[in-house]
Amino acid sequence: MRLSGKVAIVTGAGSGFGRGIAQRFAAEGANVIVNDRSAETGERAAAGIVDAGGHARFLAGDVTNDADVRRLVEFAIASFGGLDIVVNNAGTTHRNQPMLEVSEAEFDRIYQVNVKSLYLTARHAVPHMREKRNGVFITIASTAGVRPRPGLTWYNGSKGAAIVTSRSMAAELAKDNIRVNVINPVAGETAMLADFMGRDTPERRAEFIATIPLGRLSLPSDIATAAVFFASDEAAFITGACLEVDGGRCV
C-alpha cells in the first residue's frame, strides 16, 4: 500500500473528486479525515470507506472559516496521531455568464473557497509538519487556471491564484521538507458541471466534450490516481509541479 499509515485530510470529500480521492487514499492504507460542509454526504462518504475496510472519520466544517480549519487539523491529529497530507479539494464556481453579471457575494465566496482555504489549511497544518520536517499539500485546481475560457472569468482567476499560491508555498516550504503540488482536472460529473457549461443539455455536453481530445470528462478515479502519486514517497523529489489531468484539453 502506497500510503500505509499516513494521515490525510481531504476537503470537499463528501462527493465528486474529493470523495474519489478519499476512497482511494484509504484503499492505499491512509487514515482519512473526510471534510465537507454537508454532514449527510460527508458521513456517507466516511461510512463507505469504513464499510470497505478502510480507516476514516468525518468532520463537518467550512474551509473558509479559521476556527473550522483549526478544528479540522486538531481533529486529524487527535484521531490518528498526526497529519501527513492535506488535499485542498473543496471548490466552487459561478455559472457560465458575462463577467459583470456575477454578484459581489459570488465573487467573494469563490475566492474564499478556492484561495483563502489554502491559507487557512497552511496556517494550521504547516506548524505540525514543520515539527517533524515532513508533509504534503495537494491542491485540486483546474485547467481553467492555465487555459481560461470566456464565461468563467472570476472562477478562472481564482484557480490561477490557487496554482500560483501553491507553487509559492512549494518554494518556501521546501526547506522544511514539505511538498506542495497541483492537479488540474478538466470538468467532471460533479455538481459544478452545469455551472461550467451554462446549461446542461445533451447538445451542450457534446460541445463541451468535443473540446477534450480524449473524448470524455474527468473521472474521480483519474484525479485520485494523480493525488496518490503526489502523496506517496514515489514523489519525494517533486514539489511545485502542476499536472494537467484533462484528456489533453490544455494541449
Closest CA to 75 of 54, 55, 59: 59
Structural Rg of the chain based on CA atoms: 17
- CA dihedral over 74, 75, 77, 83, signed as positive or negative: negative
Please identify which of the residues 17, 58, 155, 230 carries the catalytic annotation.
Answer: 155
- Say how far apart CA 94 and CA 144 lie, in whole Å: 13
Please state the three-class secondary structure of the chain as a single string.
CCCCCCEEEECCCCCHHHHHHHHHHHHCCCEEEEEECCHHHHHHHHHHHHHCCCEEEEEECCCCCHHHHHHHHHHHHHHHCCCCEEEECCCCCCCCCCHHHCCHHHHHHHHHHHHHHHHHHHHHHHHHHHHHCCEEEEEECCHHHCCCCCCCHHHHHHHHHHHHHHHHHHHHHHHHCEEEEEEEECCECCCCHHHHHCCCCHHHHHHHHCCCCCCCCECHHHHHHHHHHHHCHHHCCCCCCEEEECCCCCC
Is 119 a known active-site residue? no
Tell me the catalytic residues: 155
